[in-house]
């Protein structure tokens, strides 16, 4: 919402370049020809949508024509509105073993609930109010977050011992952390080679080291084939811990072990290498893998901790993914 997006369309002819036109399918049928305006800009055959909102959702068609021949391709744009709370959570006091209700109304449908100590409330523990889908009622007995009683044991049994479709949900490995700058780090983790339910995406959490600190969750979902993530906006000379949540295709999740304490030392005097590596070749290995070969970096007084590869599909106009290779792997 409110951002710009670019739809790429490249066509090639034998003697000359084809003429490219953009269209959008109407809800009631038919097509609308898109012309340059405040909303739309056509640049080198690509279509730029500015300050998008929900009305920009739909099917866009790129039609390339030359003489009496034309070809076309299409793409779906789905603009997601930003969620907001209509009614926020209120603090409640309740005796152990009693039922209680948490009401949280939002402009989007709630998909899961979490307790104050970040423990998962299972599907059996909650019911969705059919008149108001964004209200969650907790129907099972509550348990002490830090207690060792019967209810806490029952929750652990529900939340961590379940298997879905005969396959276990195996969490990621304990994250490792490398410093990138005075204010950012690179976190990376590994997946088990054992058979597990497919991962839909990862979420990364971090917190300052201390008894009263709380977990912060990065807003973006991390694609299941990515096992590194940059965390920015940190405070120099502070100590942090990190963990990774793997969300599986059954909407349940498992948390990795918490990382070792990482001290983000202020080392502003360090300089970046003067010369970047030079990519020599990119060699296909399979339908889903490639090998990137680059030459060694030139001698430098700066210590090299690793390399970062930025990549994206040529058919995409989105942000680059990145993967880090540590010198200590």
206-243 residue pLDDT tens: 999 887 888 898 888 888 888 888 888 888 888 999 99
Query: Which CATH homologous superfamily contains domain 176-264?
Result: Immunoglobulins (2.60.40.10)
Instruction: Name, of 24-33, 290-299, 302-311, 314-323, the range with top average pLDDT.
Output: 24-33
State both tokens at 172.
């990621």
Q: Is 211 exposed, middle or buried (0-12, 13-18, 19+ CB in 10 A)?
A: exposed
Q: Please report the pLDDT score of residue 202 as a whole number.
A: 92
pLDDT greater than 60 at residue 120: no
Q: Please report the pLDDT score of residue 270 as a whole number.
A: 57
**What are phi and psi for residue 222, nearest 5 degrees?**
-100, 125
Q: Please report the pLDDT score of residue 193 as a whole number.
A: 84
Q: Please report the pLDDT score of residue 24 as a whole number.
A: 92
Average pLDDT in the chain: 75
DSSP state of 275: S
Residues 30-46 have a mean pLDDT of: 87
Angle at 116 between CA 115 and CA 121, to 5 degrees: 10
* pLDDT > 90: percent of the chain: 13
- CB count, 10 Å around CB of 321? 16
Q: Based on DSSP, count helices (H) and strands (E) in the chain, helices before strands.
A: 1, 24
Q: How far apart are CA 35 and CA 37, in angstroms?
A: 6
pLDDT tens per residue, range 55-91: 888 999 999 888 888 888 888 888 876 666 667 777 8
pLDDT greater than 80 at residue 175: yes
CB-based contact 61:22 (threshold 8 Å): yes
**Alpha-carbon 277 to chain mean position:** 28
Q: How far apart are CA 245 and CA 222, in angstroms?
A: 10
Rg of the chain over all Cα atoms, to the nearest angstrom = 25
Q: Please report the pLDDT score of residue 324 as a whole number.
A: 65
Report the CATH architecture of 5-77.
Sandwich (2.60)
Same topology for domains 5-77 and 176-264, yes or no? yes
pLDDT tens per residue, range 253-305: 899 999 999 988 876 555 667 777 888 888 888 887 888 888 865 555 566 76
Which range has the worst mean pLDDT, 2-6, 13-17, 179-183? Answer: 13-17
For the chain, how long is the longest CA-to-CA vector?
A: 80
**Alpha-carbon 291 to chain mean position:** 24
Domain ranges of the chain: 5-77, 85-160, 176-264, 279-326
State both tokens at 191.
């997946």
> pLDDT-based confidence at 184, cuts 50/70/90?
confident
What is the pTM for the complete model shown?
0.40
Residues 128-141 have a mean pLDDT of: 42
CB-based contact 294:278 (threshold 8 Å): yes
Residues 6+ apart with CB under 8 A from 91: none
């Amino acid at each position: 919402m409110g951002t710009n997006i670019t739809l790429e369309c490249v066509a090639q002819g034998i003697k000359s370049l084809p003429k490219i036109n953009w269209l959008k399918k109407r809800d009631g049928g038919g097509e609308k020809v898109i012309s340059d305006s405040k909303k739309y800009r056509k640049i080198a055959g690509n279509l730029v949508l500015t300050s998008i909102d929900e009305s920009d959702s739909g099917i866009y068609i790129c039609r390339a024509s030359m003489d009496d021949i034309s070809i076309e391709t299409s793409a779906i744009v789905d603009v997601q509105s930003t969620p907001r709370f209509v009614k926020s959570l209120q603090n409640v006091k309740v005796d152990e073993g009693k039922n209680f209700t948490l009401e949280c109304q939002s402009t989007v449908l709630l998909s899961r609930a979490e307790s104050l100590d970040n423990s998962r409330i299972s599907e059996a523990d909650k019911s969705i109010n059919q008149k108001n889908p964004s209200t969650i009622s907790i129907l099972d007995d509550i348990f002490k977050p830090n207690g060792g009683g019967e209810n806490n044991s029952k929750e652990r049994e529900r939340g961590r011992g379940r298997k879905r479709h005969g396959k276990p949900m195996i969490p990621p490995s304990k994250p490792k952390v490398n410093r990138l700058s005075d204010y950012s780090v690179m976190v990376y983790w590994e997946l088990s080679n054992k058979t597990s339910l497919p991962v839909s995406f990862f979420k990364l959490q971090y917190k300052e080291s201390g008894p009263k600190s709380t977990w912060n969750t990065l807003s973006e979902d991390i694609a299941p084939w990515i096992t590194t993530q940059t965390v920015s906006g940190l405070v120099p000379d502070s100590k942090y811990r990190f963990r990774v949540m793997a969300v599986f295709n059954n909407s349940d999740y498992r948390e990795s072990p918490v990382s070792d304490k990482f001290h983000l030392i202020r080392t502003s005097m360090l300089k970046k290498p003067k010369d970047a590596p030079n990519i020599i070749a990119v060699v296909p290995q399979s339908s889903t893998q490639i090998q990137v070969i680059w030459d060694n970096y030139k001698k430098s007084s700066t210590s090299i901790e690793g390399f970062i590869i930025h990549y994206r599909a040529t058919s995409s106009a989105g942000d680059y993914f990145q993967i880090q290779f540590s010198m200590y792997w």
